Homo-oligomer: A and B are copies of this chain.
Amino acid sequence: MARRAGVSRTTASFVLSGRTDMRISPDAQRRVNAAAAELGYRPNQTARSLRTQVTRTIGMISDTIATTQFAGEVIHGALDTALERGYLLLVAETSGDPIAEKKLVDEMLDRQVDAVVYAMMFTKPGCPPDALSELPVVVLNGIDDFDGPRILPDELGGGRTAARALVDAGHHDDIYAIGGRHRTTDTPDGVYAGRLRMRGVDEVLADAGTAIAGSYECAWEPEHGYEGVASLLDEGHRPKALVCLNDRLALGAYQALEERGLRVPEDVSVVSFDDSDLASWLRPTLTSVALPHYELGKTAVATLLDGTSGRRLITVPMPLRPRDSIRTVSA
């Protein structure tokens, strides 16, 4: 122990934890700090935790951390915020398997995590298991009702932002949506993000005295983006602007457009969602409304650490990343 530095362990403990309950002689303080620095003393967090019931460790459970860069940035944001306050992250994923989830939750509980972020990598239903009910928990990206803080991207605002980017550039007519609400046989009502994004788009277009010229409903994968644009063109539509509901759809759309000899953005402007790596890889680079991964992670941990509990919905803005796929049309 660094306590062999002139004072008792009590005194040392007090100055190191910066308590002022009992006034400690400035001299003693100096001596303790000096000794601690000199010996490179670092308290054993395990021992401390046993005593204080606080591990300064928070669990991060997600369904998938692999697929998509979503996870990486979320963890990054969460970690930065955690580290700022002296916390560390126990990261794990369930792969959607309840058995794996149980095991993993137990392991975390065994290690006395102070709180957990229960994250889903795509906005969808899902609730933390009962075993976590004793702990502070925030749900990231969950749509299901949950009696605690929930963090979600502001998809509605994102939809508005996308449409506004087009309107501000002077677009008015012949604006088509590719992907739409994601209405497929599997998801006849569309998906959460699709419904909200489209509602935001519709709102702004309505405000501008216009409306979407058509919406191609499909799963949000490149091939459907291709098919969507191709079929639009085949049916004689002549879009001036495309709202692609994600970047992968935009990839497909680019291909279809190029094939027909239509240039982006000269002939048709494109705005998209997610701001994945693709957006900056495509040529021309793609203007996209970003999923605020990093901020979502940050917000989740901050919410946990601020002790804000109780049922509430926290919504994180989706910022526009302007690139080269929108042409300003002079009126």
Residues of A whose CB lies within 8 Å of any CB of B are 42-47, 49-50, 55, 57, 65-69, 71-73, 75-76, 79, 83, 86, 88-93, 100, 103-104, 106-112, 222-223, 226, 248, 251-252, 255, 258, 277-278, 281, 283, 294
Contacts and interface: CB of A to CB of B under 8 A. Distances in A.
Contacts of A65: 72, 75-76, 79
Nearest to A42: B110
Q: Which of A46, A65, A93 has the most CB of B within 10 A?
A: A46
The 7 closest A-B pairs by CB, nearest first: A45-B110, A91-B91, A66-B72, A66-B76, A45-B111, A66-B73, A222-B281
A67 B66 contact: no
Given A65-B72, A69-B67, A110-B43, A90 B92 contact: no
A100 B42 CA distance: 17
Given A86-B107, A255-B283, 16 more contacts: A42-B106, A43-B110, A46-B55, A65-B76, A66-B72, A66-B75, A66-B76, A67-B69, A68-B72, A68-B277, A69-B69, A83-B103, A83-B104, A83-B107, A88-B111, A258-B258
Number of this chain's copies in the assembly equals 2
A90 B88 contact: yes
A109 B42 contact: yes
A79 B93 contact: yes
17 contacts: A42-B106, A42-B109, A47-B50, A57-B90, A65-B72, A69-B69, A69-B72, A79-B91, A79-B92, A83-B92, A83-B104, A88-B90, A89-B90, A90-B90, A222-B283, A223-B283, A226-B283
A266 to B, nearest CB: 16
